[in-house]
Structure 1
Amino acid sequence: MSRKRPTIADLRAMKGKRQLTMLRVMTLEEAEAAERAGIDIVSIPPDLMLNPEYRDAAPTLFSMPGDNFFEIGTADDFVRWAFRLYKAGADAVYCSASYATVKAMADEAIPVIGHVGLIPSRATWTGGFKAVGKTAQSALDIMDAVRKYEAAGAFGAEIEVVPVEVAKAISERTSLFMLSMGAGTGCDAQYLFAEDILGQNRGHMPRHSKVYRNFAAEYDRLQQERIAAFTEYRQDVESLAYPEDRHVVHMDPTELENFLKALDS
């Protein structure tokens, strides 16, 4: 049986009933792979959402484009940005800007996903890239942020690197659809980056990431093959082994004779 793309109403109806899967994908190929693998939700760059080939590759993925708030601008800029993406087939948009900006989009019936816990673009306020919500007060601060998102009209929120007990307690007490990145199974969906799953990331691996393939090694192998191919090409040119007769075209002998006579006349 073929599946259909879930709506906001569908996701709300599934809240608390089963774990959904979510990926951050960056390319059309990754989106197509997520579609064929049966992934439920993807976060994507806005430019990918605007690619006319995207929905052919990923017809049933609940797709959420997002960008850093400082790349977009004011609340009015966000509304225009969101409408453009919504028109292109987005199901929701990610926004870590102000609650007023979230409200401006929600007031136009645009489904918005916010962000609580460790928010990379604002990590300086919570002590850098580390877990948030490990004390009662900081956990209450996260709950307060969730309540503010509710009041602003957001549909859901990513909750990142928060103790599992805190994330579960918050998810049970909010109507928001909660996307867990390193916050345990007490939320509504598990969220990982495709580059981590595929082993493309050569730098620091987050605690919550899990590597399923080693693309970095494959890329290294392909780079060595690339260098070898370019070297062989250079050697063929230098030794006159390239081009061979099969790589060029020849002129009819009579036409060639007429051409050469004309050149010399």
Structure 2
Amino acid sequence: MARNRPTVADLRALKGKRQLSKLRVTTLEEAEAAERAGIDLLSVTYGLMLDPRFRDAAPTCFAVPGDEYGMMGATTDEILRTAVKLKAAGADAVYCSASAQTIRRLADERIPVCGHVGLIPTHSTWTGGFRAVGKTAETAEFVWRQVKELEEAGAFAAEIEVVPAAVAAAISKRTPLVMISMGAGAGCDAQYLFAEDVLGLNRGHYPRHAKVYRNLAAEFDRIQQERIAAFSEYAADIASGTYPGAGHMLGIDAGELRRFEDFLSGQT
């Protein structure tokens, strides 16, 4: 059955009713696969969002572009300009981990914003590095205050990353924000993983919350070996004179060839 792309109002209405699915995708192929698999939300790079082919690949996924820290700009005005450009390209919302003041400015312009609480990688120095946040009552209160700040700034959603499941569930029940869990348990409104982890493309560390469903890294390794073998055979054929063969070359009528050779014989 055909589905429509959800709106912010749709996502809010689904809060507490069913878990949404979210993936981070970086290629058109991944976006198309997510669309065909029925994934609800996509986090995408700015480059992918601005690619005019993106919406053909994923017409009904709710797209939230987000990129490396600073890519949106350094000031509120720069971030607003980037957000407007992304919205014009078909984004349904934007991810922003900047200040509440900046999020409020975007919200004032009716741009839906997804914020971030718990472990925020770009700001992790303030919470002790790449580690869980909210494992004590005091740090759980800190996450709650982050959520309230986003509410007051006008965000509609928040990623909640590496927070104890019970803490995340308690917060999710008490906020109107659409809470998107990345390693924060099943008590939120959506689950979020990176496509590279789901597909087994990550050649480094897999986070604890990641689940690997395929081993495409091995497939790409196999394909690379096939590339090397094919290129090696090609080089060997050239060296041996096997390539090009008769079937790879264009012929010419014998009479026409003689006429051309006669012409060449008269050239100095």
1:149 paired with 2:150, answer yes
Distance in 2, matches of 1:251 and 1:264, equals: 18
1:25 paired with 2:25, answer yes
Distance in 2, matches of 1:56 and 1:216, equals: 27
Could you list the per-position Cα deviations for residues 53-111 of structure 1 after superposition, in whole angstroms to 9, with x for gaps in the alignment? 11111111011111133122211111111111111111111011111111111110000
What amino acid maps onto 2:43 in structure 1? S
Distance in 2, matches of 1:215 and 1:19, equals: 27
Distance in 2, matches of 1:45 and 1:142, equals: 26
Distance in 1, matches of 2:235 and 2:148, equals: 64
Equivalent in the alignment of 1:82: 83
Distance in 1, matches of 2:21 and 2:104, equals: 27
Aligned residues of 2:50 and 2:89 also touching (Cα < 8 A): yes
1:14 paired with 2:11, answer no
Distance in 1, matches of 2:225 and 2:165, equals: 43
Aligned residues of 1:67 and 1:95 also touching (Cα < 8 A): no
Matches within 5 A, 1:159-174: 159-174=160-175
What amino acid maps onto 1:62 in structure 2? F
Aligned residues of 1:164 and 1:186 also touching (Cα < 8 A): yes
Offset of residue 258 of structure 1: 2.5
Could you list the per-position Cα deviations for residues 170-197 of structure 1 after superposition, in whole angstroms to 9, with x for gaps in the alignment? 1111111100000011110000011101
1:240 paired with 2:245, answer no
1:58 paired with 2:80, answer no
Distance in 2, matches of 1:251 and 1:125, equals: 76
What amino acid maps onto 1:30 in structure 2? E
Distance in 1, matches of 2:102 and 2:24, equals: 23
Equivalent in the alignment of 1:179: 180
1:199 paired with 2:203, answer no
Aligned residues of 1:68 and 1:96 also touching (Cα < 8 A): no
TM, length-normalised to structure 1: 0.97
> May I ask how many residue pairs the two structures share in their alignment?
265
Distance in 2, matches of 1:202 and 1:68, equals: 20
In structure 1, runs of 5+ residues without a counterpart are none
Distance in 1, matches of 2:89 and 2:16, equals: 30
Distance in 1, matches of 2:59 and 2:124, equals: 35
Aligned residues of 2:169 and 2:186 also touching (Cα < 8 A): yes
Offset of residue 204 of structure 1: 0.5
Offset of residue 224 of structure 1: 1.1
1:108 paired with 2:114, answer no
SS of residue paired to 1:52: coil
Equivalent in the alignment of 1:136: 137
SS of residue paired to 1:209: coil
Aligned residues of 1:99 and 1:149 also touching (Cα < 8 A): yes
Offset of residue 256 of structure 1: 2.3
Name segments (4+ residues, structure 1) moved above 6 Å: none
Distance in 2, matches of 1:121 and 1:242, equals: 54
Distance in 2, matches of 1:186 and 1:20, equals: 12
- Residue identity over aligned pairs, in percent, reads 64
Equivalent in the alignment of 1:67: 67
In structure 2, runs of 5+ residues without a counterpart are none
Instruction: Provide the aligned C-alpha RMSD in A.
Output: 1.1
